């Protein structure tokens, strides 16, 4: 005879889950890796794996785990010290994870990523292929920013947005962000005793963004603003998300089964979600120039989401090659969309002002509709 819990698990659709955990949720008061906190997280991931789910971890904690071994009494403030601490701490962190998962019969792998790995489409696709193989083979990938070499990403909120991008990359069903807060409140609970926890959010409103405050931990680098950015990316990609407190009993397991205390972010079902190609264009590509368009071209793009015709181009800004991602802006410098161009900037310059019959030799549109991401489809800044 099976129990109610067993029936629930058997009837539950198996998910691909990305879990992000911050530094403050993994370290002790003296700043070193907490074995107890790691064991709690691993035990919950193992329960999900035993249920048949695929799980990927985005784990902070390298700098926090390594800076005392470097001889620093407090978290370092200079970039070289942070990177040196990360080089020590990353090894300690992955060793602890590997030992704990192996004790349960599961294998963990390490993937260190920099922003440039996502900005180049071929490397982006390679990263997706690698992670897919690992997940399909039952491995638990542990992803982190490569803090030992990265110059511009050891900063506020890096692993929150990274986790959302990774969730989109692997086509996750759910993103779980664990932190030192219970969830999203309608006001700052540290300042307002009447602040209420929001159980469900279907849209990131200006009021929610305005309420996002400063980082809440001296150990981590993220705050509510970075988490809001992450949930905007996930929702635009059609991924359900959850924010909850890491120290809560069974928080990860319960979040997957919709029983946890925290905030669930659910994308709207009546909107088109960005596919993998458009996710890369919108969030990772890093536009290389601008194509300035006429009003009639703007109307066609926004009203019917058609591709950009050559006759709609007014002029271009910057230098770029065929196949580059560019911003598409109107004559008032308002950003309309992002797209992959079929021509280089030099070719655009040659064509601008040409008569229609002179453009016949160019068979393709300036930007194909399937390579166009309108701001009607996304609600976050490109390249975040």
The residue that leads in pLDDT, 56 or 2, is: 56
pLDDT for 69 beyond 90: no
Considering only CA atoms, which of 259, 252, 111, 228 is closest in space to residue 176? Answer: 252
Domain spans, the chain: 4-272, 277-374
Which CATH architecture best describes the domain 4-272?
3-Layer(aba) Sandwich (3.40)
Count each helix (H run) and each strand (E run) in the chain, helices first: 13, 13
The highest-confidence range among 2-16, 189-203, 302-316, 318-332, by mean pLDDT, is 318-332
pLDDT score at 324: 92
Q: Are 316 and 281 in contact (CB under 8 A)?
A: no
Share of the chain above pLDDT 90, in %: 44
What are the CA-CA distances from residue 61 to residues 74, 89, 120, 159 (Å)?
14, 7, 27, 10
Q: Which CATH number fits domain 277-374: 2.60.40.10, 3.10.20.30, 3.40.1190.20, 2.30.130.10?
A: 2.30.130.10
Q: For residue range 144-181, what is the model confidence (pLDDT) as tens digits?
A: 887 666 655 434 346 898 999 999 999 999 999 998 88
* pLDDT for 70: 84
Q: pTM, whole model, 2 decimals?
A: 0.84
| End-to-end Cα, the chain, rounded Å | 51
């Amino acid at each position: 005879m099976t129990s109610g819990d067993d029936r629930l698990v058997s009837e539950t659709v198996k998910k691909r889950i990305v879990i992000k955990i911050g530094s403050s949720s993994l370290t002790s008061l003296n700043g070193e890796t907490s074995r107890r906190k790691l064991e709690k997280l691993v035990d919950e991931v193992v329960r999900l794996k035993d249920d048949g789910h695929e799980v990927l971890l985005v784990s902070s904690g390298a700098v926090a785990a390594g800076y005392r071994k470097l001889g620093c009494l407090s978290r370092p403030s200079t970039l070289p010290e942070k990177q040196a601490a990360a080089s020590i701490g990353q090894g300690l962190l992955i060793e602890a994870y590997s030992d704990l998962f192996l004790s349960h019969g599961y294998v963990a792998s390490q993937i260190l990523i920099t922003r440039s790995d996502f900005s180049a489409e071929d490397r982006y696709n390679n990263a997706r292929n690698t992670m897919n193989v690992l997940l399909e083979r039952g491995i638990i990938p542990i992803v982190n920013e490569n803090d030992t070499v990265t110059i511009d990403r050891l900063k506020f909120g890096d692993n929150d947005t990274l986790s959302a991008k990774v969730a989109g990359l692997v086509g996750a069903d759910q993103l779980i962000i664990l932190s030192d807060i219970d969830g999203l409140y309608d006001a700052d609970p540290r300042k307002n005793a009447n602040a209420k926890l929001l159980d469900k959010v279907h849209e990131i409103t200006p009021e929610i963004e305005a309420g996002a405050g400063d980082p809440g931990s001296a150990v981590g680098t993220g705050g509510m603003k970075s988490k809001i950015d992450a949930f905007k990316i996930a929702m635009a990609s059609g991924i359900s998300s959850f924010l909850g407190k890491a120290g809560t009993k069974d928080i990860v397991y319960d979040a997957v089964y919709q029983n946890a205390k925290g905030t669930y972010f659910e994308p709207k079902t009546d909107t088109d979600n960005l596919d993998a190609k458009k996710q890369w264009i919108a969030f990772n590509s890093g536009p290389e120039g601008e194509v300035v368009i006429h009003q009639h071209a703007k109307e066609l793009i926004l009203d019917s989401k058609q591709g950009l015709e050559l006759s709609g181009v007014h002029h271009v800004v910057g230098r770029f090659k065929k196949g580059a991602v560019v911003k598409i802006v109107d004559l008032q410098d308002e950003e309309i969309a992002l797209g992959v161009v079929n021509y280089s900037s030099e070719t655009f310059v040659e064509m601008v002002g040409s008569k229609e019959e002179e453009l016949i030799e160019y068979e393709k549109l300036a930007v194909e509709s399937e390579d166009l991401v309108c701001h009607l489809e996304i609600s976050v800044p490109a390249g975040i």
